[in-house]
Amino acid sequence: MKITSDLICSRCGGPAKISKTWVEMLETRAGPSKLTYSQIVCLDKKCLAEFNKKLAEDRRKKDELKLRAEEYAKNKKDEAAKRVNLK
């Protein structure tokens, strides 16, 4: 785990470190592309806790919206099937 002075947290401005790095191969029209990702983590525990809390809330909201969209689509499909059966 690399800690360098040039890594700065974008939320609090404190020092950060690279906690994880991984490589993915992606097929494109021009051929395969190699993508390298790095997960950067703030060293301030309070900042990191706030970030994780916000991330969990965002995931919850996203899941809720996805569930609503699925319910809406199911209801529309059921309504369309009822209309076809009434005719």
The pLDDT of residue 6:
82
Confidence category of residue 22, pLDDT binned at 50, 70, 90? very high
Q: Is 87's pLDDT higher than 80?
A: no
Per-residue pLDDT tens for 27-86? 989 999 999 999 999 999 999 999 999 999 999 999 999 999 999 999 999 888 888 877
Q: What is the pLDDT of residue 7?
A: 87
Identify which of 2, 9, 5, 4 has the alpha carbon closest to the alpha carbon of residue 51. Answer: 9
- Of 36, 31, 32, 34, the C-alpha closest to 18 is 36
DSSP 1: -
